Amino acid sequence: MLNRLEDAGHIRRERHPSDGRKLVVTAAQSSADQAFERVLPMIEGVEDLVSGLSAPERATVQAFLDRLVAIYDDATGSPPDS
């Protein structure tokens, strides 16, 4: 997978500066910019959606998401956020 991403110009692989056995993988700036351009409309859409909710609607959504995260945490053994 990394070879394909590197060949396509999406990532760079460099040796770790203090441990030459390790590799540091970084996203190419142009690929990161393209990803951001694709994700930004979704982020803005969600922000618009949330800002259009009434306080009771936001409370209902928040309660649902809190319970959903708790289910995921229980299923994966993840500790709850404090």
Interval 71-81 mean pLDDT: 87
Pairwise CA distance, residues 31 & 9, whole Å = 8
Q: Residue 29: its pLDDT value, please? A: 95
Q: Residue 47: its pLDDT value, please? A: 97
- Contact between 29 and 43 under an 8 Å Cβ cutoff? The reply is no
pTM score, whole prediction? 0.57
Pairwise CA distance, residues 79 & 73, whole Å = 6
- pLDDT over 60 (residue 6): yes
Interval 32-50 mean pLDDT: 96
- pLDDT over 60 (residue 37): yes
Q: What are the strands, taking DSSP E only, across 9-72? A: 11-15, 23-27
Boundaries of every domain in the chain: 1-51, 54-82
Pairwise CA distance, residues 17 & 30, whole Å = 24
Number of Cβ within a 10 Å radius of residue 38: 9
- pLDDT over 90 (residue 45): yes
Backbone φ, ψ for residue 14 (5° rounding): -135, 155
